Amino acid sequence: MGLSQEQHRRYKRHIVMKDVGVQGQEKICASKVLIIGVGGIGSPVALYLAAAGVGTIGLADGDKVDISNLQRQIVHSVSDVDRLKTVSAKERILAINPDVNVVTYETWVDGSNIAGIIKDYDFIVDGTDNFVDKFLINDACVLGKKPFSHGGVMAFDGQTMTYVPGSTCYRCIFTAPPPIGALPTCAEMGVFGAVVGILGAIQAAEALRYLVGTGELLVNRLLVFDARKMDFRTVRFQRNPRCPVCGEKPSISELSKPDHLVCDH
């Protein structure tokens, strides 16, 4: 199914790019992307994916909008306080692009539901705010053979990487979550609002480039940046043969997770 005249006009700036073109835009419009966590990171991801014309955007989050979120979670507004974030974000997405099909999951992801949620999506974006969820998303995507973008932020610092089946996974690098309480949370350290915007824009670009099939993704590489200095660097990694989820003798074959931990990027 080709693009309509309206879509040709809307996505003209994509279509004129030789690395995207009509075929690339058609791929975007036919794709399905799931965003887990509709907070600071998930907000810019949702807005850019909607503007780009992603056909179906899934939103998974069990939280409600709080006034303290509005310093950085740009998909929400004052009138959304005390409303579900998935509902608020859906309305904003449709205001930007009514052609997008928005599917909402008003729940926290856990070991019992994540496999069923991610199974129908082409790409997953991790917009969560704690280590437990990040390892869960990694394990679910590795076991389910789903590509995903990891993102994490604290104060002025951000990091992101992309996983595709067969590449270095998040657990290859970090192995296991730190003990609860071992590190300060973002509620304790704070988050510089624009930093999540930088990170979310990068993750949205990764998702779109994966869908189109262009450029060099952040595969086997961890991008780390310090927004105090605007210093960006990438660290290359190789798959860990002893990784407990994707290694030669994996010990993780089922998903489990303790109670959800809220930090709220």
Q: What is the pLDDT of residue 265?
A: 55
Q: How confident is the model at residue 84 (pLDDT cuts 50, 70, 90)?
A: very high
| C-beta atoms surrounding 70 within 10 Å | 15
Q: Which amino acid is at 109?
A: V
At 217-251, the pLDDT tens digits run 999 999 999 999 999 999 999 999 999 999 999 99
Token digits for 248? 């030669």
Contact 92, 47 (CB under 8 A): yes
**Domain-embedded: residue 60:** yes
Q: What is the 3-state secondary structure (H, E, C) of 88-140?
A: HHHHHHHHHCCCCEEEEECCCCCCCCHHHHHCCCCEEEECCCCHHHHHHHHHH
Mean pLDDT of 45-68: 98
**Domain-embedded: residue 242:** no
The number of folded domains in the chain is 1
**Domain-embedded: residue 241:** no
**Domain-embedded: residue 85:** yes
Q: What is the pLDDT of residue 177?
A: 84
**Domain-embedded: residue 16:** no
CATH number at residue 193: 3.40.50.720
At 101-155, the pLDDT tens digits run 999 999 999 999 999 999 999 999 999 989 999 999 999 999 999 999 999 999 9
Mean pLDDT of 58-74: 97
Q: How confident is the model at residue 263 (pLDDT cuts 50, 70, 90)?
A: very low
148 is in which domain, residue-wise? 31-236
Q: Which residue in the block uniquely carries the two structure tokens 């799931």?
A: 34
Name the percent of the chain in helix, strand, coil, to the closest 5: 35, 20, 45
**Domain-embedded: residue 4:** no
**Domain-embedded: residue 78:** yes
**Domain-embedded: residue 3:** no
* pTM, rounded to two decimals: 0.95
